[in-house]
Amino acid sequence: MHEIQPAAAPTDKKTAAINWIKTLRTYRAPTISRSGFELAVTILPLLALWSAAVWAASISFILTLPLCVIAGGFMVRLFLIQHDCSHGAFFKTRKLNDWIGRVIGVFTVTPYDTWQRSHLIHHRNHGNLQERGIGDVHTLTTEEFRAKPFWGRVGYRWYRHPAVMFGLGPMFLFLFHHRLPIGLMTAGPRFWISTMATNIGIFAVVTAGIWAIGLLPFLVTYLLIICSAATMGVWLFYVQHQFEDAMWDEPENWQVHEAALYGSSHYDLPVVLRWITANIGIHHVHHLYSKIPFYRLGKALRDHPELHAVRRITLFESFRTVRLKLWCPTTRRMVSFKDAALA
């Protein structure tokens, strides 16, 4: 991976990142018609695929699996619309963003206000070694890992194992962890209200679904869609921040705009996957200017091709990031457990 600095910009990364803000600001304005269209072309196929999966379940539950996985992709897209709402990027007014986000949160099983708070903390602090722990993938430095007692190292190894990171972890996160405002338990009633209201909404959807189509067909399709979407979503978030050149710094050397642009990847996906994932792969631009609606991120990248190569990772290259477990302050790179042992 290599980088190309913006034309006529200074080579200093902090200054270069800050200079991009003025340019990217011109892409921030959402349009109600486009946002409504994107919402429709996400919800309608999701409902159609879910209905097809229920019908397939009446023949064989094996037939329903691929339909649920595809529907899970549209659920990810719906979640990413909720994500844009949390940044105030999908509609012009905060109230509309918030209420659409809250309704979507019932279907993505993610309490909007609670998740928004932790996600904005992630945006404000990403790459700051002293501000880890909320809204991010838990990452230790090589020195921190070596300093842990035996069972602490074992626990971290299990946490970073692919079966946990992309299998058990996403299911636990979305089905159980989100049922309480974990991390914000004492932050005020707003987050309890958000979480409990979402739980009530989920219960209403599940109850109506079971009444309409039966216990087994609904639960099988519902859980397959949610778990497929959870795994895809966690994978996307992982690749966006757990790549070889990911940036971490102590507070005295950390700068939010530099961390945004150079500490987030450009996950350059094939066009179909780019569409289904709502351009979230253009994550370095999103982190630098989060109020750009997802449907304008592609234009920003096309208009400024010098951003294309910054922290670029292809689909094939992304699979190699699974081996990366620790951040090495010496090499300033993410490394595997094996590489850390040899260092």
Tokens of 79: 């979640």
| Interacting residues of 160 by C-beta distance below 8 A, sequence separation 6+ | 325
Are the C-beta atoms of 50 and 71 separated by less than 8 Å? yes
Q: Which amino acid is at 140?
A: L
Are the C-beta atoms of 226 and 75 separated by less than 8 Å? yes
Q: Tokens 């349009």 map to which residue?
A: 31
- Please state the φ and ψ torsions of residue 244, each to the nearest 5 degrees: -55, -40
For the chain, give every domain's residue range.
Answer: 13-137+162-316
Q: Quote the distance between the C-alpha of residue 64 and its chain's center.
A: 26
Residue 343 pLDDT:
55
Residue 162 pLDDT:
97
Residue 271 pLDDT:
97
Residue 10 pLDDT:
42
Pairing of strands 266-268, 312-314: parallel
10-residue mean pLDDT profile of the chain (343 residues): values are 41 83 94 97 98 93 94 98 98 97 98 96 94 91 96 97 97 96 91 97 97 94 97 97 93 93 96 98 96 97 94 96 96 93 67
Query: What residues are paired with 128 via a beta bridge?
Result: 249
Q: Which of 90, 87, 112 is nearest to 102 (CA)?
A: 112
Residue 174 pLDDT:
96
| Interacting residues of 100 by C-beta distance below 8 A, sequence separation 6+ | 39, 81, 82, 85, 90, 91
Note the pTM of the prediction, 2 decimals.
0.93
Q: Which of 177, 199, 181, 200 is nearest to 189 (CA)?
A: 181
Residue 342 pLDDT:
64
